[in-house]
Amino acid sequence: MKKDSNEIQLPDYLLVHPDLKDDPANKQGEIGFITAAILDTDEFYVGFDDHEVGFYSASALLTFKEPGEIYDLLHQKALTLSVDDFKDLKNIALLLDHGTEKHVRTAMELVKKNGGIHDAVTIGLDQFLGIDQTRGLKR
């Protein structure tokens, strides 16, 4: 079967941006998964463990950077990172290398637990997908 060249692989799990303003679902900093997406209009429906669903733009959602970027950061900042941050970053990179849904979820749990590292390991879903966002965080 030929794969559609317009098909985009969406991440298994996302983190709702912890600094998101005006979130009607009140899920800032929570882990979720995409239940539906309309890329043309930047609409993402995100499900959560409590069975609630929130409606977000891509800029309000965080996904992981590539493991190689995280390893590079570890090498560059090894002497300045705290022991806990170094350990969490290393574990996240290793979990992402495995790439299974379970490992990605575990990695996202580490980010949720240690909010101080989320900038080091995550990027906005808009950047990940290459969606042009000129507006700030919304929805």
When comparing pLDDT for 96 and 139, which is higher?
96
Q: Please tell me the distance from the alpha carbon of residue 12 to that of residue 3, in angstroms, as a whole number.
A: 19
**16-70 pLDDT tens trace:** 999 998 888 999 999 999 999 998 899 999 999 999 999 999 999 999 999 999 9
* Same domain? 68 vs 105: yes
CA dihedral 28, 30, 36, 42 (to 10 degrees): 30
Residue 56 lies in a domain: yes
pLDDT band at 132 (very low <50, low <70, confident <90, very high): low
* Same domain? 59 vs 39: yes
* Same domain? 69 vs 48: no
* Same domain? 34 vs 80: no
* Same domain? 110 vs 69: yes
* Same domain? 77 vs 90: yes
* Same domain? 53 vs 94: no
Residue 32 lies in a domain: yes
Q: Judge whether residue 88 has pLDDT over 50.
A: yes
Residue 7 lies in a domain: no
**Domain count within the chain:** 2
For position 121, what pLDDT does the model report?
Answer: 96
* Same domain? 75 vs 55: no
Arithmetic mean of pLDDT, 66-83: 94
For 44, the domain range is: 14-63+123-129
Residue 71 lies in a domain: yes
Question: What is the three-state SS of 73-111?
Answer: HHHHHCCCCCHHHHHHHHHHHHHHHHCCHHHHHHHHHHH
When comparing pLDDT for 2 and 41, which is higher?
41
Residue 139 lies in a domain: no
